[in-house]
Structures are given as structure tokens and as C-alpha cells.
Structure 1
């Protein structure tokens, strides 16, 4: 990578798991009534044809990982499991009561926190309770995040029996010095054990999540981590850039000094090395931070241009309606977003009153819907088009003009009625999306909101 381009474009910017991004939601014009109306509208239109998705947030962790930016509650008290499952099932019933038919569930993802904090019988109780009020799509895709240190064979077998076929294990880095810095002590043998169990049971997609840019990381430590990863041959790999946002997450990301973090050229070289080593071992780059084997559904979705991106990241299947259950979860009806309250106490309090535990949200206007499609096209397919009238918007000429410098820098090239991202431009795809982000263009943040783009 050209160092001048890296320094030029490495600025704070969104990761675009949604548009508009959460800091730019218009909360004043959002109401729970409008959220419910949007849900019902989308459900009636798409439930029978494509089904719905569920994201279920399981926030408990037994120890704090200092790299983590997720909403979590640190505890070793497993008595918290049962009340939380009861709350999730009550929230689910409040949603189902809005609909005039049984939901058809295509996608479930259990995220956290640490989903495998919960005992297998509690996870079984959760999924069985969900399906007391719903049916399973014929093309279902269920996945969960497993912590290698506490995922048991029983966890894997129980969830497999419930229909889960995808699991991702949080690896991050195998280097002892890095693990100590991020408070995530996790030997390779633990990952190997749960990975092999998942293969033995029959999971069709096993993912490993790695992070570059962590404190104390070096090219040597990345190479050693990826060498161990390639021994196990996971079906897909998430290779995330560490988002250092201590001004948002407080002490959770203060377990090390800023001087311990690889910066700019050094950090990007870690990604470039990882990409080289993954591709040498048969992986294909997907989007901006994923790699997959040709046998994995994520790769197939890339080839067929069906790749999708939402609050769960890249996914091989798409539904217009995604309901978020649990503390801090985000739902998406395509025409509106909502986010749940961020504290367990507030979550339980609202459910006790038979109210949806929604904190805030956003109703997408016509312009938002067009921009959202452009950003999804860029993030998933590395191209977009405004040939069709429905993909045009008032400020399109200004957006095109703002992209001319990126064309000069050979990050994109224009087609007759669109643009494509070049190979050199892939690391800068977030910057390219920012040119389309009219809410960001019109109102630059006065304080720092986002992690660095590269």
C-alpha cells in the first residue's frame, strides 16, 4: 500500500453495518408505535417469501477482555441465566403478538457477550421457546459465537441438534504477550479441541475470528497466529481491525498503553501479511475483513452477488426483517431501526410492564433507503450503479465530484452510470462509502465517534 494514501485516508469513519449509522439516527421523529407499524408492514410483505432473522444478545462474560467493544456484563454468577432467558422469551412473545401469522425464521445468530456462558440446557430452553411461537424456514441458517475456553462438547451437540450448523470461535491472537495485554488467555490447544469437536459433530461452517492491530502485536506474532489457524483450516475467517475507542467504552479498553498499539503503516502491514498468508492457503477475501474457502456459503454468496451486510456483519442470507432480542440488541425492518436499552435493569423493568424494551430508533426516509442500497452495494460487491432512476438522488452530482480525487488515486474507476472499487481501493472501501453518507457529509461530528478506517 502506498504510504501516502494510507496517511491521507486513514481517518475516523463508520464500519457501515447500517445506514444511517447509529450516531446519525433521527431519534426525535422515532416512536415505538412507528416501529411496530414498520415491523408489521415488512412482516406481511416478506415473512412467507423469505422469512425473518433473529439476533439474540447474550451479554454475560466471566472475565473482561480489554479489546472488546461489545455490551457485556461481567459475572461468575450463573444464577443470572434463567431470568435472562425468561426475559428474552417474553420479549419475543411481545413481537409475535404484533403479527397475524406465525413467523418463519430463516436466520438466528446468538451473539454476546459470551453465548456459551449459558448452560446447554438454558440455550435449548431458549431456542425451543422461540419455536413454540414460530416455524423454521426450509433454508434456515443458525449460528452462534463460542468461546474456546468454555464451549463444551455438550454445547456444540445441543445447538447442532437444535439446527445450528455454523459456529465462530473468538481466537483474536495466539501470542502469550498479546493475550496477556488483552486479558484473553486462550491456548491453541483449547481452540483445536473445540474446532475438532465441531467438525466431528457435523458443523458445515466453522469460523475463527482474528484481530489485527492489537497491543503488542507484530508481523511475527500475526504470522504465527495465522500459521496455527491454517493448520485447522476453518471454513471462514473474520480478520477484524481492532477498533480502539476508549472514549466510548471507558476502562474496558484501557488495559494497556496507547504506545503498545501498532500504528498506521505498521498496523496495515499486519493485515497485508495476513491476507497474503490466507490467500496462499486457499482463502478468498470477502468484503473488507472476511476470508472464506470456496466451499463456504459466504464465498458462494460473493460469487452470486447475494452477499449481505447488517448489524451481524457479513452474511450469506438476507431478510428484510431482523428482530433484535436482548439488552442493547438492534432490530431492522428495512424501513426502520430500533435499539434496545443498554442496561439489564432497564431491560427487565420495561418487560415487567409488558413494553418492548426499546431505547431509540430511526425511521428511514426515501433518501436514506437509496443511500443505504449504494453503501450495501459497495460494502458487499465493491461496486454500485445509478443507472436506474430509483438509485438516483438529488446530491448525486456532488457525490460524484467528491469521488474524483479517489479516481485520481486509482481507488475507484467510473463506469458509464456507476463506479467500481479497484483492487488497490478495497482497503479504503469505508472511505468510499463515506462520500455517499449524506448525513455525515452534511454534519461532521464535533467529537470523535468512530474508529480509524484503515
Structure 2
């Protein structure tokens, strides 16, 4: 069976039971692998030639289409759980200036690309993109169409806050060419909403979903978060019941990462109200059971989709990939990032914009791209990105095919990794056969743990920790604990 013929069964009760037993022992903090190398490996203040060279190489790849991400950072309300790069303000005058600078950045990028490149996939994220007023949204879309060619049959999506849109605004989004919407929900429980400072009645969300369907949007996606204060399996189950009544095409069920030392708003969350680890695991397991029983395909990690959705179809056909929006059907194209903190993946380079408005505006005032961080992939990075992507998306490694494409002897190049996979095989996460490595139904629930085996940077971190510990022991000192540079939110 090839990857393109792979069909994933729903996680069964045995896999979920084994997952419950294993998760506490082997599932720890780790990257989500929306990129490889992961964003924490990007270098600060790289030479601007990194971005220029990436655009030049992409220019040589014409007529390949692009993927495009645009970041709108503004929000009127602070949600305590949020770890996004956002600006809380009720001053809508700030967005007018931002739109103007977005136009400058688009012009600089388009000029170096050399032609009005076709865009097959676009996504507006935030923040809250619908913070922009209707005229500003029209202006941004006009600028995009001036500098790029957004295809009518492409996938064009936007994140929306159901508390901030009505039927008229949904009609505007359809008029502008959006055909997919992603709605933040998190939880419909009133006490949970109060604790996270996000009051959002079910009827308000249902009105937006109904409007999207009436206006002909191709897909409606809902985002949930488990692990929030006051959540239990039973209470979250009631939210799942309400979600199922809306029957979204896609669902993302994210694990809340409580990192108040990194995200200051999380300091307002009562840690004593967070569900204990066992309850949080119960929430996840019961959610997977419920959604798959109701006909949703478990795509992987935190994504679910109806069988006819493009994500589910792509997975069945072996075309599923990952990018900075998670699982995707169009991740193989160069991705341009626009706006503060936006990340681009262009011609083997990752580039990330400045994270603050002052730095972003300052760079554009000087007529230069607002690059803040980035990295150029090497040959080993390309190989490992393919391996990690195959494991996380298609659940199978065809070793002869990888060897042929990259000119390697897999068993020799990855002897340490194969030894680690052997231990994961004993736990039932993978099956290692001649010429093939397959992720099991249990392994799909812990697929990030499987992918981490092939992360060279994590291996180097572990080796340094071991060396430091050995040196400390030789010196008669206590080993120093080195905190990993990655987390659940990377």
C-alpha cells in the first residue's frame, strides 16, 4: 500500500485506552511541526539578503502559485488564554495606518517577485481580522488584488470573532471573495467563558454559522480549547453537543498551554481552576470518541473534518501537508507572510516579520522589508521536514522512495532514530517493517512524539544537556536543569 492509498481508521476504544495509559508517561512538551526547523530555531536579526534571496528564487519558480498569510493584530477584547501576537485597543483609527503600511509591504514583496503572482490559498489571521471596518477590508483586498492574483477557485479563508460580525459583515466577506471562515468558540460553558474573559452565547455563534451557509461559504470551521479553567469531561461534552448541532465542516480542538511567564494575560487565569492532568486527558479522549462516532474524520493531533471536506479527501489521497495554519491541502507552495509577526516559507527559507508596530513601521519607512527572524534550510533540514511531514500527515514512511529521492541509505543515516522508533514500536505507536514505517492508530494520537524522533535540533539539545550533566557530576556539582526552548504552542 502506498501513502496515497492510505486510509486511516478512526481511533478505536483500545487505542484510546492505550493512549490514556501512555500519555502521561511519554507525551510531553514538544513542537507542533507547522514548520521544520521550528520557529524557535529561527535566528534573530538575520541579514536581509535571506529574504531577498528567497524572493529571487521564488521568482525563478514562476508560474508556480503562492500561499499567502496576512496578520491583523487588533482586538477590542482581551481573552486571557490567548498566546497570539495581538494589540488590544478600541481605537479603530490605528487600523487605518496599519492598512497603509500593509500596502507598502505588499508593494515591496511583489516588486521582488517580479510578476503579479497567482495566489491559490490565502488566510487572514490575528488578532481579529474583522476589527477592520468594511472600507478598510475592501482596501486591503484591493491592495492584494493589485499586487497578486487571487484565484477565484482558490481557498480564501478568514478568522472571525462571532461577537463582532453580523449578517451584513458576513455578506461583505462573501463579496470580497472569502469562501471559508474559521470561528473562535473555545467553550460554550458560561462559567468557563467568564473565567477566560470571553462571553459568547451559543445563539450568537449559531447566527454566524447560519449566515455563512446561507451566503454559500464552502467551509465553516470552529476552534475549541480544552484544559481551560472549570472544564470537565462532562461540561465540555455539553459544548461538543452544541457544536455538533452546528455541524461545522472542520473542527480544531486545541490543548490549552498555560504559560503565564510567556503570555502575561494568562496571569489572570486562576491556576487552581485548571483541570488536573487526568481530567484534561479525559476531556480529550471523550471528545475524540464523540466526534468520530458522529462521523468526523480524525485528521491528526487536534484537527477533525467531515469525510467530504477537502482535508479529509487530501488525507485519503496522500496529499495532506502542514504549514503555519496547521493541516493544509495547499502547503507545498511558497507562503508569503504579510503584517507584524507574519511568517513566510519561501524557497527553502523561513522569514518572520517584526513583532511590534514600531519596528514594522520603522522598517517600511526606510523602504525595506520588515524582517526580524529567519533561517535558511540546509539539506538535512529538507530531508527531515519531508520525513516529519509524511509521519504527521500520511502516517507512513516509504523508505525506498525517500532513499531514491535523497540519495541516502536510510538505515545508516538514521540508525539512532530507528533505535528510538524500536522503543516506540514496543509501546505500539509505530510498526517497523522492511522498507516501511507505519504510524498505528495509537501512534496517530501521539504523532508529535513520533515526529520528535527525527528532530535533529532536539537531539542536539538532549546531547548538550547530557554533557552538561556529566560535567557537573565530574565537578561534584548538581546538574543544571536546562529548560527546553520549545512548548506546545510552537
One fold, TM greater than 0.5? yes
Q: Quote how far apart the aligned CAs of 1:304 are.
A: 1.2
Structure possessing the higher radius of gyration over alpha carbons: 2
2:451 corresponds to which residue? 433
Matched, 1:153 2:167: yes
2:207 corresponds to which residue? 193
Of 200, 203, 209, the match for 2:223: 209
Matched, 1:48 2:63: yes
SS at match of 1:443: helix
Of 77, 92, 107, the match for 1:63: 77
Query: Considering only aligned residues, what root-mean-square deviation do their CA atoms show, in Å?
Result: 1.7
Once the two structures are superposed, the pairs formed by residues 363-442 of structure 1 within 5 Å of their partners are 363-388=376-401, 389=403, 390-391=405-406, 392=408, 395-442=413-460
Q: Quote how far apart the aligned CAs of 1:72 are.
A: 0.2
Structure 1 residues 383 and 260: alpha-carbon distance in aligned structure 2, compared to 1, 3 A threshold = farther
What per-residue deviation string (whole Å, max 9, x for no partner) do you get for residues 360-396 of structure 1? 1000000000001111111111222332323546641
Q: Quote how far apart the aligned CAs of 1:433 are.
A: 0.8
What per-residue deviation string (whole Å, max 9, x for no partner) do you get for residues 306-332 of structure 1? 112111111122342101000111000
CA distance in 2 between partners of 1:386 and 1:121 (Å): 53
Mapped contact 2:321–2:332 kept (Cα < 8 A): no
Mapped contact 1:26–1:363 kept (Cα < 8 A): no
Mapped contact 1:166–1:206 kept (Cα < 8 A): yes
What per-residue deviation string (whole Å, max 9, x for no partner) do you get for residues 388-436 of structure 1? 3235466411111111110000111113223111111112111111110
Q: Quote how far apart the aligned CAs of 1:358 are.
A: 0.8
1:104 corresponds to which residue? 118
2:340 corresponds to which residue? 327
SS at match of 2:275: coil
2:6 corresponds to which residue? none
Mapped contact 1:10–1:264 kept (Cα < 8 A): no
Segment of structure 1 superposing worse, 356-365 or 5-14: 5-14
CA distance in 2 between partners of 1:174 and 1:334 (Å): 42
CA distance in 1 between partners of 2:262 and 2:22 (Å): 28
Matched, 1:34 2:50: yes
SS at match of 2:70: strand
Segment of structure 1 superposing worse, 390-399 or 61-70: 390-399
Once the two structures are superposed, the pairs formed by residues 266-277 of structure 1 within 5 Å of their partners are 266-277=279-290
1:9 corresponds to which residue? 26
Segment of structure 1 superposing worse, 173-182 or 264-273: 264-273
Give TM-score, length-normalised by structure 1: 0.95
CA distance in 1 between partners of 2:200 and 2:371 (Å): 36
Q: How many residues align?
A: 449
Mapped contact 1:327–1:344 kept (Cα < 8 A): yes
Q: Quote how far apart the aligned CAs of 1:31 are.
A: 2.2
Q: Quote how far apart the aligned CAs of 1:154 are.
A: 2.6
Matched, 1:362 2:378: no
Structure 1 residues 439 and 148: alpha-carbon distance in aligned structure 2, compared to 1, 3 A threshold = same
Unaligned runs of 5+ residues in structure 2 are 1-16, 466-481
SS at match of 1:359: strand
Of 140, 143, 147, the match for 2:157: 143
CA distance in 2 between partners of 1:62 and 1:201 (Å): 26
2:461 corresponds to which residue? 443
SS at match of 1:129: helix
2:258 corresponds to which residue? 244
Q: Quote how far apart the aligned CAs of 1:39 are.
A: 2.1
Give TM-score, length-normalised by structure 2: 0.88
